Copies of this chain bind each other. A is one copy, B any other.
Amino acid sequence: MELKLLVVTNDQLDIETLAKHISEMDPYVDFFIIREKSKTIREQIHLLDQVIKAGVSKEKLIINDRVDLALVLGISKVQLPAHGLDVQEVENHFPSLQIGKSIHSLQEALTVMSVQADWLLYGHIFPTNCKAGLPARGLHTLRSIVEAISIDVYAIGGIKPEHVQVLSDIGVKGLAVMSTIFDAPHPAGKAKEYYQACQRSVIFNKE
């Protein structure tokens, strides 16, 4: 199975522009993390309404941080930041949710596994201005995490389409991208590049 592509919004676009980009890249993206911290809740609701109205499935949407927003809108997936609510607390109170947790170390990964997060997001894999194609320090820890735990791991941070194969070899479930897509002149075109790289990848079967 090919790697999943997860796009994280960059909190820098107005609602109409962002909704348009999300809608355009929808065919190439498995999940969107809606992470618009500087927008009010009203604005985030308006954005999500636009996105859903444009035909993007609710199943593809992951709400960053705001569990209450997800619950109120009937969105079943949340991404908890490293300094956000505890996975276990959210799990206890809202058992219907699927919960991702953002982590930055193997130690945090082990904690997250013990509380049964549904997936984790580890990064940053590559420094911002890393030399494309060369292994960077994040890969070593990423490999340790994938080997140590049994839940799905997504990699984030400076990932370019040419990194997809090495990530696939390590055995991640998918990759998450923000800046490289939203900084591109044509975000949907850039998302398609990642999509195609994912299509070419084959998940390394640990079993």
**Chain A interfacial positions (CB closer than 8 Å to B):** 40-43, 65-69, 71-72, 81, 83-86, 89-90, 93
Q: Which residues from chain B contact A65 at a C-beta distance below 8 Å?
A: 41
Identical chains bound together, number:
2
Q: Which residues from chain B contact A89 at a C-beta distance below 8 Å?
A: 72
Interface SS majority for chain A: helix
The distance from the CB of A41 to the nearest CB of chain B, in whole angstroms, is: 5
Which among B81, B83, B85 is the interface contact of A68 at CB below 8 angstroms?
B85
7 A-B interface contacts by CB (under 8 A) = A41-B65, A42-B83, A43-B83, A66-B68, A67-B68, A68-B85, A72-B89
* Cα–Cα distance between A81 and B40 once the two chains are bound (Å): 9
Q: Which residues from chain B contact A93 at a C-beta distance below 8 Å?
A: 71-72
Q: 6 nearest interchain CB pairs?
A: A40-B83, A67-B68, A68-B68, A42-B83, A72-B89, A41-B84
Q: A43-B83, A67-B68 are in contact. List 17 more A-B contacts (CB 8 A).
A: A40-B81, A40-B83, A40-B84, A41-B65, A41-B81, A41-B83, A41-B84, A41-B85, A42-B83, A42-B84, A66-B68, A68-B68, A69-B85, A71-B93, A72-B85, A72-B89, A72-B90
Q: Which residues from chain B contact A85 at a C-beta distance below 8 Å?
A: 41, 68-69, 72
